[in-house]
Structure 1
Amino acid sequence: MKTLLSGLAIAITFFAFIPYIKSIISGHTRPHVFSWIIWGSTTLIVFFAQLQDGAGIGAWPIGVSGVITLLVAWLAYRYRADYSITRTDQIFMLMAILSLPLWYFTANPLWAVILLTFVDLLGFGPTFRKAFYLPYQENIGFFSLFALRNLLVVLALEHYSVTTTLFPAATGFACVLLIMLIVQRRYSFSR
């Protein structure tokens, strides 16, 4: 059953990313480059921390997502999406980079996952800011699929601990909040 849930989560990852990537290339979606760099970096590091803590096959959708997320960051840069970088964005990136020595020196992936989850959630900041002002430049379906994907990731984990569940649960919840913001702002714009 865990293998099926993990496979379904990976399929949803591809299903979500393919139209999102097409939308970037066509110019309809303009993701914030720095958010995607932060998300890709943190997601890959969390993937390795989850593997170390025994997440097993449930971690694989996170690893696949990390690689594709870095591809989205490159596409956002390549197609001249939103790559305004604020001082806050730089601080988020620095925190993500600093999580590696924290993990190394504590020899415990939990602290890295806690810091990376925090950084990943902060990485939503530029996208939340952009969605507030330009709600039609974000894709609700994409973030909806990722909320579902993260639920499946949690269900597919072979070992449950804060290290293995915190990241997918928190990022899934952040996706739901972003969807709610986009819907509310689109409603406000349409009035």
Structure 2
Amino acid sequence: MIDTSFKLLFSGLAIALALVAFVPYVRSILKGTTRPHVFSWFIWGITTVIVFFAQLEADGGMGAWPIGISGLLTVAVAVLAFIKRADISITKTDWLFFAAALASLPFWYLTSDPLWTVVVLSVVDLFGFGPTIRKAYESPHQESQLFFLSLALRNCFAILALESYSVTTVLFPLSITLACTVLLTIVVFRRRTVLA
């Protein structure tokens, strides 16, 4: 069993990685180098903030802190992407995922169980990767490799920092780690085959 001081260290590392990932990402959005898909980021922001509260209810403790901070940063990126008019192509499917993210709130209230909310939100969040994966495949030079690598590592540290391990506390950060790894792999592969 890892003691509390190590949990705090892992939580701090996860928060530091979130900041290390988001600060250059925001700079690249401001420069126009990175053009994130607005709807993906709104979906991710909503789901991440809700999962943070579900993890707290499931006794995730300080391991939930990086998820909460990342949720706030993600919403900020979504707002910035909208203001900068990055990739604002929104499909009917995007609206469906957005509605599913919002629908998870009453679902949690009705079931009184954060597990099902986290399951629904993890699935919705993974679907939220759809527009970004499509965009990364088509325009791989518009996505930051360092950003998605940092997020994958952040989630690994967030899992290690959890004070209680359950499907409710681990599912979301683990699924996001895997999705970031897939996205990163696509960007690396496509950059080798597509000229800037």
Alignment partner, residue 152 of structure 1 = 157
Residue correspondences, number: 190
Structure 1 segment 1-191 matched on structure 2, within 5 A = 1-190=6-195
Query: 2-side partners of 1:81 and 1:23: how far apart?
Result: 11
> Aligned partners of 2:157 and 2:177: how far apart in 1?
10
- How far apart are 1:113 and its partner, in Å? 0.1
Deviation per CA, 1:61-115: give whole Å up to 9, x if none.
0000000100000110111100110001000001001111110000000000000
Runs (4+) of structure 1 exceeding 4 A deviation are none
Q: CA deviation at 1:187?
A: 1.1
Q: Match for residue 3 of structure 2? A: none
User: Structure 2: which 5+ residue stretches go unaligned?
Assistant: 1-5
Aligned-residue CA RMSD (Å): 0.5
Quote how far apart the aligned CAs of 1:189 are. 1.2
CA–CA separation in structure 1 for the residues paired with 2:144 and 2:93? 24
The aligned amino acid for 2:92 is: R
- Normalised to the residue count of structure 1, the TM-score between the two structures is 0.99
Rounded Cα–Cα distance in structure 2 between residues aligned with 1:17 and 1:97: 24
CA distance in 2, matches of 1:146, 1:103: 26
SS at match of 2:64: helix
TM-score, normalised to structure 2, is 0.96
